[in-house]
Amino acid sequence: DAGVTQSPTHLIKTRGQQVTLRCSPKSGHDTVSWYQQALGQGPQFIFQYYEEEERQRGNFPDRFSGHQFPNYSSELNVNALLLGDSALYLCASSYTGVRYGYTFGSGTRLTVV
C-alpha cells in the first residue's frame, strides 16, 4: 500500500516564476493538507482540501493556491515566487480529519534563486 506520494522531489525556480507541486494521498484517505517547512522550523499549515474544496487556510498570501481532484490527489500552486518561498513543502493526507492521524509525504524541496 503506497503512502503519500509527492512530486517532484526537488525543484529550482527563479524569482517571479510560478510552480506547481503535486500530491497523491494514501489509499483510503480523502483529505489533503499542505504544509511549508522552512529550514530548522516546524511545518506551517498552508491549507486543507476535502471534497475538492478548500475548507481551511493558514496565514499564507493568495499567491498560494491549490486544487483537489475527484481522485483526492492535490496540487499546490505558488505564483510570483519570492526567495522566502524556498522551503520543504509537505503534503499530508488523512481520513475525515486529523483525529485519525496524518500521513506525510517526503516533501518537495523548492529552491527559489
Chain residues that interact with another protein, rule: CB under 8 A: 4, 31, 33, 35, 40-45, 48, 50, 55-56, 58, 90, 96-99, 101-107
Q: Give me the least distance between CB of 2 and another protein, in Å please.
A: 14
Q: Give me the least distance between CB of 93 and another protein, in Å please.
A: 11
Choice between 81 and 102, CB closer to another protein: 102
Answer for the pair 91, 34: CB distance below 8 angstroms, yes or no. yes
CA distances for 63 relative to 16, 77, 85, 93, angstroms: 11, 8, 11, 22
Choice between 19 and 36, CB closer to another protein: 36
CA contacts within 13 A on the Cβ side of 45:
14
Q: Give me the least distance between CB of 7 and another protein, in Å please.
A: 13
Lookup result for grid cell 518537495: 108
Choice between 24 and 31, CB closer to another protein: 31
Longest CA–CA separation in the chain, Å = 38
Choice between 19 and 108, CB closer to another protein: 108
User: 12: which 3 cell numbers?
Assistant: 529550482
